[in-house]
C-alpha cells in the first residue's frame, strides 16, 4: 500500500487549499486559523476545529508531514543591517512558515498570497521569501494565476509558490479555456427559498427612503 500523503494547513481560512489536496487522497494532520468565524466554517467543512494563532504553536509540536500548505498574509519585512539586502523575517507571519519548514523538513510546500506580494517594496519582500525558501534546501517555483482562467467566474489574481526537496521539473497548470459567468453557477431563482430574499417590509423601510 502506498504511503498516504500528509499535509498541514496553515492560515487555513475555511480550507480551500486543503480541499484540493484531499481530492487526491491526502490526509490533513494539523490546521491553524486565528479568525473565529473562519474556524466555525472550517469545522463545518471538515469536522475539526483549527488551533488558533500559529504564533502560540511550537514548531516541534506540529506533526510530521509531507507538504506544508499556507495562505499566509502579506506583511512588510524590516530591512536592516550593515550589508545591503540583509533582511530579517522575524515579526512577520512568514517567519512561522520558515521555522516550521526548518524544524519539520517536509518534502514540499504550497504557499499562496496576493499578487502584489511580487512587487511589494520594489520586489525586495518577495526576494527575501524566495531566498529564505531556497536557503532551506528547496527548489522553488512561483507564478501569478487568475481564477477566471480555471473555471471560476471571478477575477482573483494570486501568487503561488511551490517548493520541493528534490530538484524536480515542475510546471504550473495552463488555462483550460473554460470561461464561466456568475449566472452559470447561481441557482435558478425559482429554486431559492423565499426566506433568503429581503422582505417587502424591509424593502419599504430601507430602500424607498
Which is the catalytic residue, given 5, 38, 57, 74?
74
Tell me the residue length of the chain. 209
| HSE-up of residue 134 (Cα within 13 Å, Cβ side) | 10
119 CB-near residues (< 8 Å, 6+ apart): 126
Residue 184 has φ and ψ, to the nearest 5°, of -70, -25
CB atoms within 10 A of CB 152: 14
| HSE-up of residue 89 (Cα within 13 Å, Cβ side) | 18
28 is catalytic: no
Residue 166 has φ and ψ, to the nearest 5°, of -85, 155
| Residues forming the active site | 74
Amino acid at each position: 500500500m502506498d504511503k498516504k500523503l500528509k499535509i498541514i494547513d496553515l492560515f487555513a481560512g475555511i480550507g480551500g487549499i486543503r480541499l484540493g489536496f484531499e481530492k487526491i487522497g491526502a490526509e490533513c494532520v494539523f490546521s491553524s486559523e486565528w479568525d473565529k468565524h473562519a474556524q466555525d466554517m472550517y469545522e463545518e467543512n471538515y469536522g475539526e476545529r483549527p488551533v488558533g494563532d500559529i504564533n502560540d504553536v511550537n514548531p516541534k509540536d506540529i506533526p510530521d508531514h509531507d507538504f506544508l500548505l499556507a495562505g499566509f498574509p502579506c506583511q512588510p519585512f524590516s530591512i536592516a543591517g550593515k550589508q545591503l539586502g540583509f533582511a530579517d523575517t522575524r515579526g512577520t507571519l512568514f517567519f512561522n512558515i520558515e521555522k516550521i519548514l526548518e524544524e519539520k523538513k517536509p518534502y514540499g510546500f504550497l504557499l499562496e498570497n496576493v499578487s502584489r506580494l511580487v512587487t511589494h517594496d520594489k520586489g525586495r519582500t518577495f526576494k527575501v521569501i524566495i531566498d529564505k525558501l531556497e536557503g532551506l534546501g528547496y527548489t522553488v517555483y512561483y507564478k501569478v494565476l487568475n481564477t477566471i482562467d480555471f473555471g471560476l467566474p471571478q477575477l482573483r489574481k494570486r501568487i503561488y509558490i511551490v517548493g520541493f526537496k528534490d530538484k524536480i521539473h515542475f510546471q504550473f497548470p495552463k488555462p483550460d479555456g473554460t470561461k464561466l459567468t456568475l449566472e452559470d453557477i447561481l441557482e435558478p431563482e425559482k429554486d431559492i427559498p423565499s426566506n433568503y430574499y429581503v422582505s417587502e417590509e424591509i424593502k419599504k423601510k430601507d430602500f424607498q427612503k
